[in-house]
Amino acid sequence: MTSRDVARAAGVSQATVSLVLGDKWRGRVSERTAGAVRAAAQRLEYRPNLAARSLRLGTARTVLLVVPALTNEYFARVYAGAERVAAEHGFGLVLYPSPEGVGPARDPFPSARAALDGVIASSMAAGALRAISGAAGPGAGGLPLVMLDSEPGGPGTAATVNPDLAHGMRLAVGHLAGLGHRRFAHVAAAVDSWTFRVRREVFDAEVGALAGGSAVRETSGLDVARGRDAAVRALTGPGPRPTALVCDDDLLAAGACKAVRRLGLRVPQDVSVTGFDDLSLATAVDPELTTVRLPAGEAGAAGMRALLAALAGEPAPSAELPVSLVVRGSTGPAPGVRPNG
Amino acid sequence: MTSRDVARAAGVSQATVSLVLGDKWRGRVSERTAGAVRAAAQRLEYRPNLAARSLRLGTARTVLLVVPALTNEYFARVYAGAERVAAEHGFGLVLYPSPEGVGPARDPFPSARAALDGVIASSMAAGALRAISGAAGPGAGGLPLVMLDSEPGGPGTAATVNPDLAHGMRLAVGHLAGLGHRRFAHVAAAVDSWTFRVRREVFDAEVGALAGGSAVRETSGLDVARGRDAAVRALTGPGPRPTALVCDDDLLAAGACKAVRRLGLRVPQDVSVTGFDDLSLATAVDPELTTVRLPAGEAGAAGMRALLAALAGEPAPSAELPVSLVVRGSTGPAPGVRPNG
DNA sequence: CCGCGTTAGTAATACGTATAACTTCGAGCG
DNA sequence: CGCTCGAAGTTATACGTATTACTAACGCGG
């Protein structure tokens, strides 16, 4: 079914069909004719050929979202938020989950796979992004680029959207300090990303500012098993045992809880644990995790809004999104401290 | 950069550029000229405009994958498997995660968003699929369709790919029966999908065939909290308390474990719990879940292979994929039964 | 009855690619 | 020499749409 078929069926020219269906017919086509065209299109189940449309228009109304891995629920939520905003503006959203650990053999040019108007990328998928942009320098192969989870002001970047991680870390440490904890451990993700650097720096600053505060750090890959191992190291290292484990995300926190129990201790009576993200995992484990909720969906939405603004030639607003602390069962008063004491 | 720009730079015609880059120049273009064209294309970073290509070719070399929700790790793995096979064949894969619970207000025609050659859909996203195909009858709007997690032989379906769920359920019940369990409960997903119907039927048949076996069933939405509530109901209902909870997936199993503890019982000493899927969640909880591992990635890959076969005009092979039982800490001997007794 | 504006539409064209059909140039051969 | 044949390209065209420029018909004031 082409627009010409519809035209034939309605007894008009192809141009008229395009005008009517494109909603540009006011004062150019009579009400009667417009109705006939719409009826014919409906009856024939006409769907415009998007390849032809974007060829003519020079725009595909499509955006690429580059994420490190779909198996992480956080990015699934980012996608959902971005998709919602895209759909509201008549844009499509295509996903490029960068392959993890399977080597560089895979198609390095998803941008060649679809006609794209712009790119939103998480800094945690930096490798994939580099493959997309090639050696073309900053930006995503000349396309407007919005970065998520990345240091503001990167070269070739139209805007940057981040959750307020510094504030999140302050909330977590403050909550634990208020419960009487002084000996902290940071179970940190061993990922070279700005977002984790921020966590480290703010953690150090906050614990350092605490009278009598002390801290150790163990780093770990981003999964439950390695989080558990890192937490075991943190709890069995030299010096007095930490009573609070601040973890860089919920997977690590789940692993940390397992470590505590493996050492014959209890959560939260002996050791308190906090995470980041507030994934569904946080309420799947026992006890449920106290965690810093990051607005993943809103991050995707804000990123998409910024990109659409950039595409429209307007200034793209960077954003720092508010976060909150969700207190659940994995944190409690430090050993030897009375509740409400 | 168009192919005409490359042609100008190389001092040849646009047609020659197309022939060389399309690898159809043997015997039609000299080695020297082909080299010059390739060099120019490289230098100018030429990327063919896919809209134009698919307009001319009438094929987009792109497939749509319709899944119920990305936040479920299972489908993230299905995607990864399908994408791998697609890339091997030079196809792109676009994802349509059907919106959950946000109503039908969203764009109902993702198929109009990209030029598509075929569709792979999970039966759990039946609503979204219906929106795509419209009232156009069987198939996905006339496109070849491969169904996942669906009863074999649907109308308009080129092929069906399923994990061998019946065998999986037999493995789970058989494992528990071998540990001495006789009083079972089925924590079932309240989702109207063939895959869950199979679980129900096989569970009933297996427990029914067991001397002294008895069973109850509680149904629940597909998340941890509702799985917990259903398990509480199953454990506190009339009649003797079940000692084995067979859950329809890992999320429900995680909830069931929480229910057991909430009632002051222990996993696995008092109650054993099994799941389905083998998500990363299975090893995030304590104790780790005994679960039926479903080959999610392989399901995506097999589905894509079947669709590509259908597109090539060959018969598309339906498949039933092997599953296995992963025994971990959430199952143990029935109370009162000696291990190895 | 001429010119002008308005209404309702149509013809023509461009977007960038892939490919069928054609041209040009030598070489080989009878 | 005249003819054919292969090599090496080129020219022309189609794909389906959106939009610009044009046309035809009609009403109306002067």
Per the CB < 8 Å rule, is B76 touching A77?
A: no
Residue A155 has pLDDT above 90, yes or no: no
Q: For residue A49, what are its two tokens?
A: 């050929």
Q: Would strands A324-326 and A290-293 be described as parallel, antiparallel, or unpaired?
A: antiparallel
Residue B31's nearest nucleotide, by CA–C1', is D8
* Nearest of A67, A113, A94 to residue B97 by alpha carbon: A94
Residue A135 has pLDDT above 60, yes or no: no
CA distance A173 to chain B (A): 24
Q: Which CATH architecture has domain B3-48?
A: Orthogonal Bundle (1.10)
Fold of A165-294: Rossmann fold (3.40.50)
Tell whether B62 lies on the interface with A, counting CB pairs under 8 A: yes
Question: CA A50, C1' D21: Å apart?
Answer: 25
Work out the pLDDT band at A100, boundaries 50, 70, 90.
Answer: low
Q: Region A46-74: what's the mean pLDDT? A: 85
CA distance A154 to chain B (A): 23
CB atoms within 10 A of CB B314: 10
What are the chain A neighbours of B114 within 8 Å (beta carbons)?
A: 50, 62, 92, 94, 114
Tell whether B81 lies on the interface with A, counting CB pairs under 8 A: no
Per the CB < 8 Å rule, is A112 touching B48?
A: yes
Per the CB < 8 Å rule, is A285 touching B285?
A: yes
Question: CA B155, C1' C27: Å apart?
Answer: 62
Residues 142-201 (B) with a CB less than 8 A from some CB of A: none
B19 touches strand D (CB under 7 A): yes
pLDDT value of position A107: 46
Looking at per-residue pLDDT, the higher value among B144 and A98 belongs to B144
pLDDT value of position B140: 55
Q: Region A55-63: what's the mean pLDDT? A: 87
- Answer whether B159's CB lies under 8 Å from B317's CB: yes
pLDDT digits (tens, 9 = 90+) for A16-43: 999 999 999 988 999 999 999 999 999 9
Radius of gyration of chain A from Cα atoms? 26
Question: CA A50, C1' C8: Å apart?
Answer: 28
Per the CB < 8 Å rule, is A45 touching B136?
A: yes
SS3 call for A312? coil
Q: Would strands B183-189 and B244-247 be described as parallel, antiparallel, or unpaired?
A: parallel
Work out the pLDDT band at A61, boundaries 50, 70, 90.
Answer: confident
- Answer whether B165's CB lies under 8 Å from B151's CB: no
Residue A136 has pLDDT above 60, yes or no: no
Per the CB < 8 Å rule, is A284 touching B54?
A: no
pLDDT digits (tens, 9 = 90+) for A305-340: 999 999 988 888 899 999 999 999 999 999 987 665
Q: Which residue of B has its CA nearest to A256?
A: B284
Question: CA A31, C1' C3: Å apart?
Answer: 29
Length of chain B: 341
CA distance A72 to chain B (A): 7
Q: Region A278-291: what's the mean pLDDT? A: 96
Fold of A59-163+296-321: Rossmann fold (3.40.50)
Q: For residue A243, what are its two tokens?
A: 């009573």
Question: CA B25, C1' D6: Å apart?
Answer: 15
Amino acid at B213: G
Per the CB < 8 Å rule, is A71 touching B113?
A: no
Whether B59-163+296-321 shares its CATH topology with B165-294 is answered yes
Residues 193-232 (B) with a CB less than 8 A from some CB of A: 223-225
What are the chain B neighbours of A139 within 8 Å (beta carbons)?
A: none
CA distance B17 to chain A (A): 17
What are the chain A neighbours of B257 within 8 Å (beta carbons)?
A: 286
Residue A99 has pLDDT above 50, yes or no: yes
**Which one of A79, A255, A258 has the shortest CB-CB distance to B70?**
A79
Length of chain A: 341
Per the CB < 8 Å rule, is B71 touching A280?
A: yes
pLDDT value of position A112: 46
Tell whether A241 lies on the interface with B, counting CB pairs under 8 A: no
Looking at per-residue pLDDT, the higher value among B210 and A94 belongs to B210
- In the block, residue with structure tokens 């999320």: B251
SS3 call for A195? helix
**Which one of A50, A97, A284 has the shortest CB-CB distance to B224?**
A284
As a whole number of angstroms, the distance between CA A99 and CA A107 comes to 10
Burial code (b: 16+ CB inside 10 Å, e: under 16) for A100-111 equals eeeeeeebeebb
SS3 call for B204? helix
Domains of chain B, residue spans: 3-48, 59-163+296-321, 165-294
Question: CA A17, C1' D29: Å apart?
Answer: 36
Q: Which residue of A has its CA nearest to B53?
A: A51
Q: Nucleotides on strand D with an atom closer than 7 A to protein CB? A: 7-12, 14-21
A216 touches strand D (CB under 7 A): no
Question: CA B60, C1' D21: Å apart?
Answer: 33
User: Is the preceding omega at residue A240 within 30 degrees of 0, hence cis?
Assistant: no
Q: What is the mean pLDDT of each run of 10 residues along chain B (341 residues)?
A: 94 95 91 94 88 87 83 87 87 74 42 70 73 47 84 85 97 98 97 92 97 95 94 95 97 97 96 97 96 97 95 89 98 83 43
Q: Would strands B290-293 and B272-277 be described as parallel, antiparallel, or unpaired?
A: parallel
As a whole number of angstroms, the distance between CA B204 and CA B268 comes to 23
A330 touches strand D (CB under 7 A): no
